[in-house]
Structure 1
Amino acid sequence: MTIKEILAHLGGVFPMDEAVVEALPPGRTFVSVEHFGTSAWTITGRITALGPDNSEEYYFVKIAYGETGRIMLGGEYESSKVIYETMSDFIPEPFGYGKYHAPGPETYFYLSEFVDMDVTTPPDPAEFTSRLARLHKMSKSPTGKFGFAVQTCDGDRAHVVDWQDSWAVFYRNLFLGVCELDLKRNGPWPEYERAIDQVAWKVIPRLLDQLQADGRVLKPCIIHGDLWEGNMGINMETGDSLLFDAGSYFAHNEMELGHWRCEFSSVFRSEKYTKAYLSHYPAAEPSEEFNDRIRLYSLKGAINYSAGHPGSDLRKTAYNNMCFLCEKYAPIEGIDKYDPLIDPALTGASIVPHLADGLI
């Protein structure tokens, strides 16, 4: 069942479990839980509890089902922990993750601090990108490699995040992973598959190998992993920008900006956000290939979205961008010519994510 169908079946009752109560910070007494917010992949709620001094406190909880739920929420918990440990004022504090005790469908939860956020006002470019660049700079990979300790997700689709010394190898594995999911959910397309193969084995090495060549050192940075305006807000109490719904891994920091080129990122696609970010964290060398790297990194977000929303036009966008990259860096016959007239980054075309699901 979809989340929308599950919510209808629940009839307005939040499916609470003792496992969540046990995950509350010590000295807290559970009072109540209510549905709060909407999500395409999880059921979300707000818990009211009493603190040690008997004052009311609030916590955010989300639940998901089955193996997908286990990976998705476990990955979010570990992602949020790394971000919080690096920069504690940039994400709500994570408190717990686990499995429901109750019999029935396998149910998993993620528990965090509840923060009252404005999720409709675009963040100030200078403030937000300064904080994002600070997160990237301050983070440190525990292995010195690219990857993550557990599998994480973008939506309900799992990332391939095995540790790699080479960023080019890591990104190729990540890219091919989302392509495999997309082909399973949307079916074959010979020209698209030919472009995928050429990008994976020719374009990626051409653009990314040199980031670690000739003595260059590329720092693995923690990234949010699914950063668009729908996964951040503004703390109503402090005015600071905040992240949530993280699906992280240690990556080239510019990877974070790949989503900003996609149709679902209509706010961050504005050039002022990228310019502001680069003022805090300059483009890697060769800097003249920065825009092409961002186009390459946008493929992951677009193809992943296509895998989660069969029939989406983002599949065509990704194919058109692959045609551009192949034409420029690794020409091949059997695919189409790049068409700037259908490039949303140039035309300004955008979408409202999850609109068809009624879960905005």
Structure 2
Amino acid sequence: MATDVRNVEEKLDENLLAALPEGGKVVSVTPSGMSDYCNTFRIEVSMPDGSSQVFFEKVANPETKLMESAWTSENTTYEFIPEHVPRPVKKGSYKFRPDRHFFLAEFIEMIEDDIPRPESYMTAIAALHSRSMGKSPNGKFGFPVNTRFGNLEQDNSWTGTWEEYWTRQMKDFLQREDAAHDGEHHAELERLRPLFFEKVLPRFLRPLESDGRSVTPCLIHADLWPGNVKYQTDGETVCVYDACAMWGHNEVDLGVFRNPRYPLGKPYLKEYWKHVPISEPEEDVDSRNTLYMLRNQILLSTLYPHDHKLREIVVSNMKLLVDKVEAEEAAKSGPQTSTYQSRL
């Protein structure tokens, strides 16, 4: 167990000290980063040999599931890309405040204000997907625990087909988005929602698992916005953290790169495709990218319901997909109608 030698009234909890290196002395605890749903700290420990070790603590009160999500997600991503993920150390609850729950990991120094270049950013993501491809523990889509996007719980119940899994998630997310807006009437969203499930999802998900094709689950991070991917201090290797992991279709992780909210875009997608092949049918990849982007936009609209622009972005992209499918349907039916009429 480490000891807290700081000259402060409130020392670190005994269970947290027990997770720190034996014989170490806690010399500083400072806030680290920003989080809307928990507190985060940088803990520096002086070791008997004169060296220092630094740790990152995330603590929530009384949200146990948030820490379970962080622990399981980070452990699983670390298993496949340890060079890019801070090593998880411990999760637990405080001894003297059992309603406070913590997640402890190694602290990695990062360059805060520099978005990694496409080759650095996508090398880590491609490595995560490639190394984990086909290694889902039961061959299904899902995750051992329900993970969190912000404070929104994600239902990761194991499912045998990708279309079924993603359809269930989208129904759940859109229901919660509606609840977050207090059931506020939005005529266009209400028109589009049933068409999205009846037409869009079958059109762009079902072909992935038809005509001899299949989706092999891989581990996806599911929240790869630039705030969760930073250069380490070498300015070359990226650090990837704050996953809300799941075993799913690798292209889900690419949705965020299309989102105009972030300064990423096509160069990042092109870099990724150098390492990982596009799923078949390849001609649908752009529409699937928009479809997967919608997940992030729906969740943001749920987290920040007072920002009405976020909801309009959801509606705009949902309409884009519905219009595309209906245009395809019209194109298919048009020639048949003309041929029939010409025979009369």
Provide the TM-score with structure 1 as the length reference.
Answer: 0.82
Q: Distance in 1 between matches of 2:16 and 2:219?
A: 28
- What code does the residue aligned with 2:169 have? L
| Native 8 Å contact 1:14 1:33 kept in 2 | no
Does structure 2 retain, via aligned residues, the 8 Å contact 1:263–1:314?
A: no
- Per the TM alignment, residue 282 of structure 1 is displaced from its structure 2 partner at its CA by 2.2
Structure 1 pair 44–213 and aligned structure 2 pair: CA distance change class (3 A):
same
In structure 1, the partner of 2:330 is: none
Match for residue 262 of structure 1?
259
- Map of 2:231 onto structure 1: 234
1:55 alignment counterpart: 51
Deviation string, structure 1 residues 287-328 (Cα, Å, up to 9, x no partner): 111110011111110010011111221211111111111122
Q: Superposition pairs for residues 157-236 of structure 1, below 5 Å?
A: 157-188=152-183, 189-236=186-233
Letter of the structure 2 residue corresponding to residue 146 of structure 1: F
Aligned twin of 2:14: 18
The unaligned stretches of length 5 or more in structure 1 are 1-11, 332-360
Aligned to 1:134: 127
- Structure 2 portions without partners, runs of 5+: 1-7, 328-344
Task: Show the counterpart of 1:244.
Answer: 241
RMSD, aligned CA: 2.1
Query: How many pairs were matched up?
Result: 315
**1:295 and 2:278 correspond:** no
Task: Please identify, of 192-201 and 86-95, the stretch whose mean Cα deviation from structure 2 is larger.
Answer: 192-201
2:291 counterpart letter in structure 1: L
Question: Is the contact between residue 198 and residue 330 of structure 1 (CA under 8 Å) also seen in structure 2?
Answer: no
Structure 1 residues 149 and 261, CA gap change in structure 2 (3 angstroms) = same
Letter in 1 for 2:100: T
Structure 1 pair 168–305 and aligned structure 2 pair: CA distance change class (3 A): same
The alpha carbon displacement at 1:126 in A equals 1.6
What is the CA–CA distance in structure 2 between the aligned matches of 1:14 and 1:322, rounded to whole Å?
Answer: 51
The alignment-based identity, stated in percent, is 32
- Kept in 2: contact 1:14–1:35 (CA 8 A): no
Letter of the structure 2 residue corresponding to residue 162 of structure 1? S
Other-structure match for 2:150: 155
Partner deviation per Cα, 1:237-266 (whole Å, 9 max, x = no partner): 47301101111101101000112222432x
Letter of the aligned partner of 2:123 in structure 1? S
Q: What's 2:83 paired with?
A: 89
| Contact 1:14–1:34, Cα closer than 8 Å, also in 2 | no
Give the conservation status (yes or no) of the 8 Å contact 1:75–1:150. Answer: yes
8 Å contact 2:257–2:266 — kept in the other structure? no
Does residue 101 of the first structure (1) align with residue 98 of the second (2)? no
Q: Give the structure 1 partner of residue 334 of structure 2.
A: none
Cα distance in 1 for residues equivalent to 2:163 and 2:45: 47
Within the candidate set 55, 72, 76, 1:78 is matched to 72
Cα deviation for residue 279 of structure 1 reads 1.4
Are 1:175 and 1:299, in contact at CA under 8 Å, matched by a contact in 2? Answer: no
Match of residue 318 from structure 1: 314
In structure 2, do the counterparts of structure 1 residues 274 and 18 end up closer, same or farther at CA, with 3 Å as the change threshold? same
**SS in structure 1 at match of 2:287:** helix
Deviation string 1:156-185 (CA, Å, 9 cap, x unpaired) is 111111111111111111112221221111
The answer to whether the 8 A contact 1:146-1:167 is kept is yes
Contact 2:39/2:59 (<8 A) preserved:
yes
Residue type at the aligned position of 2:30: E
Work out whether residues 234 and 240 of structure 1, in 8 Å CA contact, stay in contact via their aligned partners in 2.
yes
Equivalent residue in structure 1 for 2:117, among 121, 124, 133: 124
The change in CA–CA distance for 1:262 and 1:16 in structure 2 (over 3 A counts) is farther
Separation in 1, partners of 2:235, 2:254: 25
How far apart in 2 are the matches of 1:240 and 1:78? 23
1-structure distance, mates of 2:311, 2:138: 34
Deviations 1:259-278 (A, max 9, x none): 2222432x22x210111111
